[in-house]
Amino acid sequence: MLKKLHVNSANSESVSLWFLFWNFFKIGSTAFGGFMALISVVENRMVRRNKLLTHEDMLDSISLATVLPGPVAANVVAYVGYRLGRTNGAVVSAIGVLLPSFILVIGLTIAYLQAGEIPALQKAFAGFIPAVAAIILSAARRMSKKAIKGWRELLIALIAAVLLKVVGGFYITVLVVVGSGLLGWFWLRDTKQSGQESSQAQPIQESIEGISWLKLSVTFVILLSFLLLSLIPLPFLGETSLGKLFVTFSGMSLMLFGGGYVFIPLIQEVVVNTYGWVTQTEFANAIAIGQITPGPILISAAFIGYVVKGISGAIVATVGIFLPPGLLMVTCSHLLKHIKESTVIQAALTGIRPAVIGMIITAAIVVAGSAEFHVGSLVIFAAALVAMWRFRVKVLLIIPIAGIFGLVLYSI
Protein backbone atom coordinates (compact mmCIF):
# COMPACT_ATOMS: atom_id res chain seq x y z
CA MET A 1 0.00 0.00 0.00
CA LEU A 2 1.31 3.44 -0.87
CA LYS A 3 2.32 5.34 2.23
CA LYS A 4 2.14 9.07 2.83
CA LEU A 5 5.29 11.11 3.19
CA HIS A 6 5.74 14.45 4.90
CA VAL A 7 7.12 17.32 2.87
CA ASN A 8 9.67 19.57 4.54
CA SER A 9 8.87 22.88 2.89
CA ALA A 10 7.43 26.24 3.75
CA ASN A 11 4.01 24.81 2.96
CA SER A 12 4.15 21.43 4.66
CA GLU A 13 1.64 18.97 3.31
CA SER A 14 1.19 15.27 3.14
CA VAL A 15 2.01 13.99 -0.31
CA SER A 16 1.24 10.42 -1.25
CA LEU A 17 3.22 8.42 -3.74
CA TRP A 18 0.00 7.98 -5.72
CA PHE A 19 -0.37 11.77 -5.89
CA LEU A 20 3.15 12.06 -7.32
CA PHE A 21 2.69 9.21 -9.80
CA TRP A 22 -0.69 10.36 -11.07
CA ASN A 23 0.27 14.02 -11.42
CA PHE A 24 3.48 13.23 -13.26
CA PHE A 25 1.67 10.68 -15.43
CA LYS A 26 -0.74 13.43 -16.51
CA ILE A 27 2.17 15.80 -17.12
CA GLY A 28 4.00 13.14 -19.13
CA SER A 29 0.89 12.57 -21.25
CA THR A 30 0.35 16.18 -22.26
CA ALA A 31 3.62 18.15 -22.04
CA PHE A 32 4.43 18.32 -25.74
CA GLY A 33 6.90 20.95 -26.91
CA GLY A 34 10.31 20.06 -25.49
CA PHE A 35 11.92 19.87 -22.09
CA MET A 36 11.16 23.47 -21.08
CA ALA A 37 7.47 22.89 -21.81
CA LEU A 38 7.51 19.90 -19.46
CA ILE A 39 9.39 21.85 -16.77
CA SER A 40 6.89 24.71 -17.08
CA VAL A 41 3.99 22.34 -16.48
CA VAL A 42 5.78 20.84 -13.46
CA GLU A 43 6.30 24.31 -12.01
CA ASN A 44 2.68 25.25 -12.64
CA ARG A 45 1.39 22.18 -10.81
CA MET A 46 3.87 21.87 -7.95
CA VAL A 47 4.61 25.54 -7.27
CA ARG A 48 1.67 27.65 -8.38
CA ARG A 49 -1.26 25.28 -8.03
CA ASN A 50 -0.32 22.96 -5.15
CA LYS A 51 2.30 25.23 -3.49
CA LEU A 52 4.47 22.26 -2.54
CA LEU A 53 7.72 23.89 -3.64
CA THR A 54 8.99 27.43 -4.20
CA HIS A 55 10.13 29.07 -7.42
CA GLU A 56 13.65 29.03 -5.96
CA ASP A 57 13.42 25.24 -5.60
CA MET A 58 12.58 24.92 -9.29
CA LEU A 59 15.39 27.26 -10.32
CA ASP A 60 17.83 25.22 -8.23
CA SER A 61 16.65 22.01 -9.87
CA ILE A 62 17.08 23.46 -13.38
CA SER A 63 20.52 24.87 -12.54
CA LEU A 64 21.70 21.51 -11.24
CA ALA A 65 20.16 19.53 -14.11
CA THR A 66 21.91 21.67 -16.72
CA VAL A 67 25.40 20.93 -15.36
CA LEU A 68 24.83 17.20 -14.90
CA PRO A 69 24.59 14.54 -17.63
CA GLY A 70 21.24 13.25 -18.80
CA PRO A 71 17.91 14.73 -19.88
CA VAL A 72 17.22 18.03 -18.11
CA ALA A 73 13.45 17.55 -17.77
CA ALA A 74 13.65 13.98 -16.44
CA ASN A 75 16.35 15.02 -13.98
CA VAL A 76 14.20 17.91 -12.75
CA VAL A 77 11.30 15.50 -12.23
CA ALA A 78 13.57 13.18 -10.21
CA TYR A 79 14.68 16.15 -8.10
CA VAL A 80 11.10 17.29 -7.46
CA GLY A 81 9.99 13.76 -6.63
CA TYR A 82 12.90 13.41 -4.20
CA ARG A 83 12.08 16.70 -2.52
CA LEU A 84 8.47 15.66 -2.04
CA GLY A 85 8.81 11.92 -1.39
CA ARG A 86 12.48 11.05 -0.90
CA THR A 87 13.76 8.01 -2.82
CA ASN A 88 10.35 6.43 -3.43
CA GLY A 89 9.01 9.79 -4.57
CA ALA A 90 11.81 10.19 -7.11
CA VAL A 91 11.16 6.69 -8.49
CA VAL A 92 7.38 6.99 -8.87
CA SER A 93 7.65 10.52 -10.30
CA ALA A 94 10.14 9.40 -12.95
CA ILE A 95 8.04 6.35 -13.84
CA GLY A 96 4.90 8.47 -14.04
CA VAL A 97 6.36 11.08 -16.38
CA LEU A 98 8.06 8.53 -18.69
CA LEU A 99 5.35 5.86 -18.88
CA PRO A 100 3.06 7.61 -21.42
CA SER A 101 5.93 8.18 -23.86
CA PHE A 102 7.23 4.65 -23.31
CA ILE A 103 3.85 3.15 -24.20
CA LEU A 104 3.58 5.38 -27.27
CA VAL A 105 7.09 4.47 -28.45
CA ILE A 106 6.38 0.74 -28.11
CA GLY A 107 3.18 1.08 -30.13
CA LEU A 108 4.90 3.09 -32.87
CA THR A 109 7.87 0.71 -32.91
CA ILE A 110 5.59 -2.26 -33.50
CA ALA A 111 3.87 -0.32 -36.30
CA TYR A 112 7.27 0.55 -37.80
CA LEU A 113 8.52 -3.04 -37.72
CA GLN A 114 5.35 -4.17 -39.48
CA ALA A 115 5.61 -1.38 -42.06
CA GLY A 116 7.93 -3.51 -44.19
CA GLU A 117 4.84 -5.22 -45.52
CA ILE A 118 2.99 -1.94 -46.20
CA PRO A 119 4.56 0.26 -48.93
CA ALA A 120 2.63 3.38 -47.88
CA LEU A 121 3.99 3.19 -44.32
CA GLN A 122 7.48 2.57 -45.66
CA LYS A 123 7.32 5.82 -47.62
CA ALA A 124 5.95 7.73 -44.63
CA PHE A 125 8.75 6.49 -42.36
CA ALA A 126 11.29 7.27 -45.11
CA GLY A 127 10.02 10.85 -45.02
CA PHE A 128 10.95 11.07 -41.34
CA ILE A 129 14.68 10.68 -42.02
CA PRO A 130 15.50 13.97 -43.84
CA ALA A 131 13.25 15.77 -41.34
CA VAL A 132 15.20 14.24 -38.45
CA ALA A 133 18.47 15.41 -40.06
CA ALA A 134 17.02 18.93 -40.26
CA ILE A 135 15.85 18.78 -36.63
CA ILE A 136 19.29 17.68 -35.43
CA LEU A 137 21.02 20.41 -37.45
CA SER A 138 18.56 22.98 -36.13
CA ALA A 139 19.29 21.87 -32.56
CA ALA A 140 23.03 22.30 -33.18
CA ARG A 141 22.43 25.79 -34.56
CA ARG A 142 20.30 26.79 -31.58
CA MET A 143 22.69 25.36 -28.98
CA SER A 144 25.77 26.87 -30.65
CA LYS A 145 24.55 30.40 -29.92
CA LYS A 146 25.28 29.85 -26.23
CA ALA A 147 28.05 27.27 -26.42
CA ILE A 148 30.34 28.85 -29.04
CA LYS A 149 31.47 32.33 -28.04
CA GLY A 150 34.96 32.55 -29.54
CA TRP A 151 37.60 30.89 -31.69
CA ARG A 152 38.56 28.39 -28.98
CA GLU A 153 35.06 26.99 -28.64
CA LEU A 154 34.75 26.92 -32.45
CA LEU A 155 38.03 24.99 -32.72
CA ILE A 156 36.85 22.44 -30.14
CA ALA A 157 33.61 21.96 -32.09
CA LEU A 158 35.46 21.47 -35.39
CA ILE A 159 37.94 18.98 -33.89
CA ALA A 160 35.07 16.98 -32.35
CA ALA A 161 33.13 16.92 -35.62
CA VAL A 162 36.14 15.84 -37.70
CA LEU A 163 37.24 13.13 -35.26
CA LEU A 164 33.77 11.64 -35.06
CA LYS A 165 33.23 11.75 -38.83
CA VAL A 166 36.68 10.63 -40.01
CA VAL A 167 37.70 8.19 -37.26
CA GLY A 168 34.48 7.43 -35.39
CA GLY A 169 34.01 4.62 -32.95
CA PHE A 170 32.97 4.34 -29.34
CA TYR A 171 36.35 5.12 -27.79
CA ILE A 172 36.86 8.17 -30.00
CA THR A 173 33.51 9.44 -28.74
CA VAL A 174 34.66 8.98 -25.14
CA LEU A 175 37.98 10.67 -25.98
CA VAL A 176 36.16 13.66 -27.46
CA VAL A 177 34.07 14.17 -24.31
CA VAL A 178 36.99 13.76 -21.90
CA GLY A 179 39.45 15.72 -24.05
CA SER A 180 37.08 18.64 -24.58
CA GLY A 181 36.47 18.82 -20.84
CA LEU A 182 40.23 19.03 -20.23
CA LEU A 183 40.62 21.67 -22.96
CA GLY A 184 37.79 23.63 -21.38
CA TRP A 185 39.51 23.56 -18.02
CA PHE A 186 42.88 24.53 -19.54
CA TRP A 187 41.67 27.22 -21.97
CA LEU A 188 38.48 28.59 -20.52
CA ARG A 189 38.75 28.39 -16.75
CA ASP A 190 39.68 32.09 -16.47
CA THR A 191 36.31 33.04 -17.97
CA LYS A 192 34.50 31.18 -15.20
CA GLN A 193 36.05 33.01 -12.26
CA SER A 194 33.39 35.07 -10.52
CA GLY A 195 34.19 34.66 -6.89
CA GLN A 196 34.10 30.87 -6.91
CA GLU A 197 37.62 30.66 -5.54
CA SER A 198 36.53 32.01 -2.20
CA SER A 199 33.71 29.50 -2.06
CA GLN A 200 36.06 26.57 -2.64
CA ALA A 201 37.33 26.80 0.91
CA GLN A 202 33.86 26.92 2.41
CA PRO A 203 32.27 23.76 3.79
CA ILE A 204 29.87 22.06 1.41
CA GLN A 205 26.27 23.03 2.14
CA GLU A 206 23.68 20.33 1.67
CA SER A 207 20.60 21.59 -0.08
CA ILE A 208 17.95 19.23 1.28
CA GLU A 209 19.13 17.66 4.49
CA GLY A 210 22.17 15.88 5.84
CA ILE A 211 23.44 12.78 4.14
CA SER A 212 26.41 10.74 5.28
CA TRP A 213 29.60 10.77 3.26
CA LEU A 214 29.42 6.97 3.27
CA LYS A 215 26.12 7.04 1.36
CA LEU A 216 27.48 9.64 -1.03
CA SER A 217 30.63 7.60 -1.63
CA VAL A 218 28.71 4.36 -2.23
CA THR A 219 26.41 6.10 -4.72
CA PHE A 220 29.32 7.60 -6.65
CA VAL A 221 31.08 4.22 -6.74
CA ILE A 222 27.93 2.65 -8.22
CA LEU A 223 27.69 5.39 -10.84
CA LEU A 224 31.38 5.05 -11.69
CA SER A 225 30.84 1.31 -12.10
CA PHE A 226 28.07 1.97 -14.64
CA LEU A 227 30.49 4.10 -16.66
CA LEU A 228 33.49 1.76 -16.42
CA LEU A 229 31.50 -1.36 -17.31
CA SER A 230 30.43 0.30 -20.55
CA LEU A 231 34.06 1.06 -21.46
CA ILE A 232 35.63 -2.37 -20.97
CA PRO A 233 34.94 -5.63 -22.86
CA LEU A 234 32.66 -8.02 -20.98
CA PRO A 235 32.93 -11.39 -22.77
CA PHE A 236 30.52 -13.09 -20.36
CA LEU A 237 27.69 -10.86 -21.64
CA GLY A 238 26.15 -11.80 -24.97
CA GLU A 239 26.15 -9.09 -27.63
CA THR A 240 22.35 -8.91 -27.56
CA SER A 241 21.77 -9.83 -23.92
CA LEU A 242 19.72 -7.76 -21.50
CA GLY A 243 22.86 -7.28 -19.42
CA LYS A 244 24.70 -5.81 -22.40
CA LEU A 245 21.79 -3.49 -23.13
CA PHE A 246 21.74 -2.20 -19.56
CA VAL A 247 25.51 -1.77 -19.29
CA THR A 248 25.66 0.07 -22.62
CA PHE A 249 22.82 2.50 -22.00
CA SER A 250 23.64 3.13 -18.34
CA GLY A 251 27.26 3.94 -19.16
CA MET A 252 26.36 6.21 -22.06
CA SER A 253 23.77 8.05 -19.99
CA LEU A 254 26.53 9.45 -17.76
CA MET A 255 28.25 11.08 -20.74
CA LEU A 256 25.24 12.98 -22.07
CA PHE A 257 26.33 16.51 -21.16
CA GLY A 258 24.36 19.19 -22.94
CA GLY A 259 20.85 17.78 -23.15
CA GLY A 260 19.03 15.02 -24.96
CA TYR A 261 20.41 15.75 -28.44
CA VAL A 262 23.86 14.61 -27.27
CA PHE A 263 22.25 11.17 -27.16
CA ILE A 264 22.15 11.05 -30.95
CA PRO A 265 25.84 10.97 -31.92
CA LEU A 266 26.90 9.15 -28.77
CA ILE A 267 24.45 6.26 -28.94
CA GLN A 268 24.57 6.18 -32.73
CA GLU A 269 28.24 5.18 -32.61
CA VAL A 270 27.48 2.33 -30.23
CA VAL A 271 24.19 0.83 -31.40
CA VAL A 272 24.75 1.29 -35.16
CA ASN A 273 28.49 1.17 -35.79
CA THR A 274 29.86 -0.83 -32.84
CA TYR A 275 27.20 -3.46 -32.07
CA GLY A 276 25.00 -3.27 -35.16
CA TRP A 277 21.84 -3.56 -33.08
CA VAL A 278 19.93 -1.35 -35.52
CA THR A 279 20.62 0.00 -38.99
CA GLN A 280 21.23 3.70 -39.65
CA THR A 281 17.72 3.97 -41.10
CA GLU A 282 16.18 2.29 -38.06
CA PHE A 283 18.15 4.60 -35.77
CA ALA A 284 16.91 7.70 -37.60
CA ASN A 285 13.33 6.46 -37.28
CA ALA A 286 13.90 5.76 -33.59
CA ILE A 287 14.81 9.43 -33.17
CA ALA A 288 11.75 10.47 -35.20
CA ILE A 289 9.46 8.37 -33.02
CA GLY A 290 11.04 9.80 -29.88
CA GLN A 291 10.44 13.32 -31.18
CA ILE A 292 6.68 12.91 -31.55
CA THR A 293 6.16 11.79 -27.96
CA PRO A 294 5.69 14.24 -25.08
CA GLY A 295 8.71 12.75 -23.28
CA PRO A 296 12.48 13.32 -23.58
CA ILE A 297 14.19 12.32 -26.83
CA LEU A 298 16.10 9.69 -24.85
CA ILE A 299 12.91 7.63 -24.77
CA SER A 300 14.09 6.53 -28.24
CA ALA A 301 16.19 4.01 -26.28
CA ALA A 302 12.98 1.99 -25.89
CA PHE A 303 12.81 1.56 -29.68
CA ILE A 304 16.37 0.22 -29.82
CA GLY A 305 15.81 -2.07 -26.85
CA TYR A 306 12.62 -3.44 -28.41
CA VAL A 307 14.37 -4.20 -31.71
CA VAL A 308 17.14 -6.05 -29.85
CA LYS A 309 15.17 -7.97 -27.23
CA GLY A 310 11.46 -7.23 -27.41
CA ILE A 311 9.52 -5.63 -24.57
CA SER A 312 12.05 -6.74 -21.93
CA GLY A 313 14.81 -5.09 -23.97
CA ALA A 314 12.77 -1.89 -24.22
CA ILE A 315 12.31 -1.77 -20.45
CA VAL A 316 15.99 -2.49 -19.72
CA ALA A 317 17.25 0.10 -22.23
CA THR A 318 14.86 2.72 -20.84
CA VAL A 319 15.87 2.05 -17.24
CA GLY A 320 19.53 2.09 -18.28
CA ILE A 321 19.34 5.48 -19.99
CA PHE A 322 17.32 7.24 -17.26
CA LEU A 323 18.35 5.60 -13.96
CA PRO A 324 22.01 6.71 -13.62
CA PRO A 325 21.41 10.42 -14.42
CA GLY A 326 18.41 10.46 -12.07
CA LEU A 327 20.45 8.83 -9.31
CA LEU A 328 23.27 11.32 -9.89
CA MET A 329 20.80 14.22 -9.82
CA VAL A 330 19.32 13.13 -6.50
CA THR A 331 22.77 12.55 -4.99
CA CYS A 332 24.19 15.85 -6.20
CA SER A 333 21.20 17.75 -4.82
CA HIS A 334 23.03 17.47 -1.50
CA LEU A 335 26.03 19.21 -3.05
CA LEU A 336 24.11 21.84 -4.99
CA LYS A 337 25.97 24.93 -3.80
CA HIS A 338 29.40 23.38 -4.30
CA ILE A 339 28.64 22.23 -7.86
CA LYS A 340 27.11 25.55 -8.92
CA GLU A 341 30.15 27.49 -7.65
CA SER A 342 32.92 25.13 -8.80
CA THR A 343 35.24 26.84 -11.29
CA VAL A 344 36.66 23.48 -12.39
CA ILE A 345 33.26 21.97 -13.22
CA GLN A 346 32.00 25.07 -15.00
CA ALA A 347 35.20 25.40 -17.08
CA ALA A 348 35.14 21.72 -18.07
CA LEU A 349 31.52 22.03 -19.18
CA THR A 350 32.43 25.13 -21.18
CA GLY A 351 34.76 22.87 -23.19
CA ILE A 352 32.37 19.94 -23.44
CA ARG A 353 29.45 21.97 -24.78
CA PRO A 354 31.08 23.12 -28.05
CA ALA A 355 32.37 19.57 -28.59
CA VAL A 356 28.78 18.42 -28.26
CA ILE A 357 27.81 20.86 -31.04
CA GLY A 358 30.41 19.31 -33.34
CA MET A 359 29.20 15.81 -32.50
CA ILE A 360 25.58 16.75 -33.16
CA ILE A 361 26.46 18.25 -36.56
CA THR A 362 28.25 15.02 -37.49
CA ALA A 363 25.18 13.05 -36.43
CA ALA A 364 23.01 15.23 -38.69
CA ILE A 365 25.32 14.49 -41.63
CA VAL A 366 25.24 10.74 -40.97
CA VAL A 367 21.45 10.67 -40.63
CA ALA A 368 21.04 12.72 -43.81
CA GLY A 369 23.25 10.22 -45.62
CA SER A 370 20.82 7.42 -44.78
CA ALA A 371 17.87 9.18 -46.44
CA GLU A 372 16.45 8.01 -49.76
CA PHE A 373 18.51 9.19 -52.76
CA HIS A 374 15.57 11.13 -54.14
CA VAL A 375 14.73 14.77 -54.79
CA GLY A 376 11.92 14.34 -52.26
CA SER A 377 14.50 13.95 -49.49
CA LEU A 378 16.03 17.32 -50.35
CA VAL A 379 12.60 18.94 -50.45
CA ILE A 380 11.64 17.55 -47.03
CA PHE A 381 15.01 18.55 -45.52
CA ALA A 382 14.82 22.12 -46.86
CA ALA A 383 11.14 22.52 -45.96
CA ALA A 384 11.78 21.34 -42.41
CA LEU A 385 14.64 23.83 -41.96
CA VAL A 386 12.57 26.72 -43.31
CA ALA A 387 9.61 25.74 -41.13
CA MET A 388 11.75 25.70 -37.98
CA TRP A 389 14.04 28.66 -38.68
CA ARG A 390 11.62 31.03 -40.39
CA PHE A 391 8.21 30.10 -39.03
CA ARG A 392 9.15 28.54 -35.66
CA VAL A 393 7.10 25.42 -36.32
CA LYS A 394 7.29 22.93 -33.45
CA VAL A 395 9.20 19.67 -33.89
CA LEU A 396 6.04 17.82 -32.85
CA LEU A 397 4.41 18.95 -36.11
CA ILE A 398 7.48 18.60 -38.34
CA ILE A 399 7.70 14.80 -38.04
CA PRO A 400 4.12 13.81 -39.01
CA ILE A 401 4.06 16.42 -41.81
CA ALA A 402 7.34 14.97 -43.12
CA GLY A 403 5.69 11.56 -43.13
CA ILE A 404 2.87 12.89 -45.30
CA PHE A 405 5.40 14.55 -47.63
CA GLY A 406 7.28 11.26 -47.84
CA LEU A 407 4.13 9.37 -48.75
CA VAL A 408 3.45 11.82 -51.59
CA LEU A 409 6.95 12.64 -52.87
CA TYR A 410 8.37 9.11 -52.83
CA SER A 411 5.38 7.95 -54.88
CA ILE A 412 6.26 10.28 -57.75
Name the maximum alpha-carbon separation found in the chain. 68
pLDDT band at 117 (very low <50, low <70, confident <90, very high): low
Better-scored residue on pLDDT, 285 or 31 = 285
pTM of the model: 0.79
pLDDT tens-digit profile of 139-157? 889 888 888 989 999 999 9
pLDDT tens-digit profile of 21-58? 999 999 998 876 667 668 878 888 898 888 899 888 88
User: Positive or negative, the Cα torsion across 156, 160, 166, 169?
Assistant: positive
CA–CA dist 68, 406 (Å, integer): 38
Q: Where along the chain do its domains lie?
A: 17-190+214-410
Residue among 61, 272, 81, 266 nearest 175 (CA): 266
pLDDT band at 204 (very low <50, low <70, confident <90, very high): very low
User: Positive or negative, the Cα torsion across 291, 101, 252, 215?
Assistant: positive
207, 333 in Cβ contact below 8 A?
yes
